[in-house]
Amino acid sequence: MADVTLINLNLMYSVANNAIDFQVYNPLGLLYIASCLGREGFEVDFRDYQLSVRESLQDPFNLERFAEFARNHSRIVGIGCMSNLLPFAVLVARRLKADRPDTVVILGGVGPTGVPFETMASFGWIDHVCVGEGEAAMIEFMHSQVAAHRTSRQFKPVLGIVSRSATGLVYEQRPRITDLDSFPLPAYDLIDFRDYDAAFSVITSRGCPFHCTFCTETNHWNNQVVFRGVPSVLEEVKLLSGRSSKRVVLFQDDQLTLNRSRAVELFRRLASDGLGMKWKAFVRVDEVDDELLELMAASGCIQVRFGIESGSDRILREIRKGFTIAQAFEAVRMALKYIPSVHASFIWGYPFETVEECQETLRQIERFTEVGCTALPFMLSPLPNSDIYRGYRGPLDFNENIMANFNVSGAENVLQKRTKILKTGAYLFDFIRQHPRVFPGFFVYDYKNNVAPKAKLVRKSKRYVFRELKKLSIPGYKQVDL
């Protein structure tokens, strides 16, 4: 039996009308951890729950189904997820322990990282939570676990992981990893490339130096940005070009052009490497210019995604975005000259945003759309690691009819009549409702006064559906009317 089972619970699954939107992305975080553990001599049993869901698209949040998927797992089980699958991750962990009480469960990823102590305090069956980066922490954790098991001594806590002791929770922060190139590439040998149908994710840097108050990235990566070297990134792109039938890479960095000279070097090398890979990336409006965009296009860039976040300059100041709507519009127009597809996402529902400011955002979305950009509104979610959430003192409301990106299905639920969850997943809502401090992302900032009046405008704007859903019809599946 393997030393550890690592389970990916990041997945993109949503249901609207009689169609499912489901895409399978390569799970980078756990593959990095798997390759580091493998190099350290540990045998890793890697499982991606996305593939189980794809086998039968019905009922992804069924605990029996998960138990079957996880059968014969190792004694130590690591589960990775974002905030929106955290409730499911917690419940599957309980199920695994009920089936096999000696199981040691460690959770990691952005979801548990936002609420490590709340998770441990509320759910006694979760043994450990890894906060932030997992590679170095997991190596030490595995050594400590194996030693404790062999000698029947107590597990020695490791930096970066919240654990239990006789006197309560123990935790000490781990410094960020500063030399990402000392790691092997993600353990691509553990996956079948044919299983992954979305653009292939690659990440060339970790972290973000900005402090937008709605976002969790700065806190997740502990206020520090660490870059990989360009040669290592190119090695990965080359490997993917040889093994994946997808000819498109999605750079998952928070902003690919944060360090301009490094970005220029990367784009020049991509342009001259002869691999012909296309790529997409997230960029900030104040980190592009004509010269850079031209080079990006020449090196295969087919899509850029900007986070604009509001149409109102007052709100942009309030959330510390660091640019104005006029700057954003100019950057989008500039990008459209070179890049075939330009996306801009906007957020509405800030607790300090007036209805007029929300209306202004919708007006700007129209304006951005008219020039050829794909502009979209998303509802603000109270993410635990964000500054807005930390400073908010008003009501947090749970309402199944209106939920941000963080509903269990991973899609917004503002259209009410269109986006549903499967009936069998509804039990998760009861669980979430009971634990607002662990799962705040599912709640909304003041439903009555803040969200409801703005939701009306957003619905009316008809700018809601991101892309045509794949029409995958599921015979006999039941929707629940919430």
Per-residue contact string for residues 435-454; x = within reach of ligand B12 by CB under 6 A: --------------------
Which string of DSSP letters, residue by residue, matches 5-68? EEEE---EEEEETTEEEEE----HHHHHHHHHHHHTT--EEEEEHHHHHHHS-S-TT-HHHHHH
208: contact with ligand SF4 by CB under 6 A:
yes
Beta strands 444-445 and 396-397 are: antiparallel
Q: Record the tokens describing residue 270, joined without a space.
A: 């991509």
List Cα–Cα distances, 181 to 12, 186, 204, 251, 258, in angstroms.
Answer: 29, 11, 10, 17, 19
Residues whose CB is less than 8 angstroms from the CB of residue 182 and which lie 6 or more positions away in sequence, other chains included:
none
Distance in Å, CB of 218 to ligand SF4, minimum: 5
The partner residues of 22 in beta bridges, in order of sequence, read: 13
Closer to ligand B12 by Cβ: residue 54 or 268: 54
* Site mask for ligand B12 (CB under 6 A), range 201-220, x = bound: x-x-----------xxx---
| Binding residue for ligand B12, selected from 20, 70, 82, 283, defined by CB under 6 A | 82
The residue range among 59-67, 106-114, 333-341, 344-352 that interacts with ligand B12, by the rule CB under 6 A, is 106-114
212 binding partner (options ligand SF4, ligand B12, none; Cβ < 5 to 8 Å by kind): ligand SF4
Q: How far apart are CA 40 and CA 381, in angstroms?
A: 39
Residue selected from 135, 217, 360, 412 as contacting ligand SF4 according to rule CB under 6 A: 217
Dihedral angle of Cα 9, 83, 229, 281, to the nearest 10 degrees: 100
DSSP, res 252: -
What's the min distance (Å) between Cβ of 217 and ligand SF4? Answer: 4
Cα torsion through 294, 296, 297, 299, rounded to 10: 120
CA distance 375 to 173: 39
- Span from 213-221, 362-370, 393-401, 459-467 in contact with ligand SF4 (CB under 6 A): 213-221
Supply the minimum distance, in Å, between the C-beta of residue 78 and ligand B12.
3
Radius of gyration for the alpha carbons in the chain, expressed in angstroms and rounded: 22
Amino acid at 477: Y
Upper half-sphere CA count for residue 295 (Cβ side, 13 Å) = 18
> Do 347 and 379 touch, CB atoms closer than 8 A?
yes
Q: Which stretch binds ligand SF4 (CB under 6 A): 74-82, 139-147, 193-201, 211-219?
A: 211-219
**Site membership for ligand B12, residue 25 (CB under 6 A):** yes
Site for ligand B12 in 277-316 (CB under 6 A): none
Nearer to ligand B12, 252 or 364 (CB): 252
Q: Of the listed pieces 77-85, 259-267, 430-438, 469-477, which binds ligand B12 according to CB under 6 A?
A: 77-85
Among residues 16, 22, 29, 375, the one that binds ligand B12 under rule CB under 6 A:
29
Applying CB under 6 A, does 257 fall inside the site for ligand B12?
no
Edge to edge, what strands does the sheet with 301-309 contain?
200-202, 248-251, 278-283, 301-309, 341-348, 374-379
User: Per CB under 6 A, does 215 bind ligand SF4?
Assistant: yes
* Residue of the chain from 87, 307, 377, 440 that contacts ligand SF4 (CB under 6 A): 307
Cβ atoms < 10 Å from Cβ of 234:
17
Q: Which amino acid is at 95?
A: R
What's the rounded Cα separation, in Å, for the pair 305 and 284? 8
Nearer to ligand SF4, 93 or 292 (CB): 292
Q: Which is nearer to ligand B12, 80 or 157 (CB)?
A: 80
Binding-site partner at residue 357 among ligand B12, ligand SF4, none, CB < 5 to 8 Å by type: none
Would you state the torsion angle of the CA atoms of residues 347, 348, 350, 354, taken in this order, to the nearest 10 degrees? 140
* Contact set with ligand SF4 (CB under 6 A): 208, 210, 212, 215, 217-218, 254, 284, 307
* Contact set with ligand B12 (CB under 6 A): 8, 10-12, 25, 27-30, 32-33, 78-80, 82-85, 106, 108-111, 114, 130, 133-135, 138, 201, 203, 215-217, 252, 254, 383, 405-406, 410-411
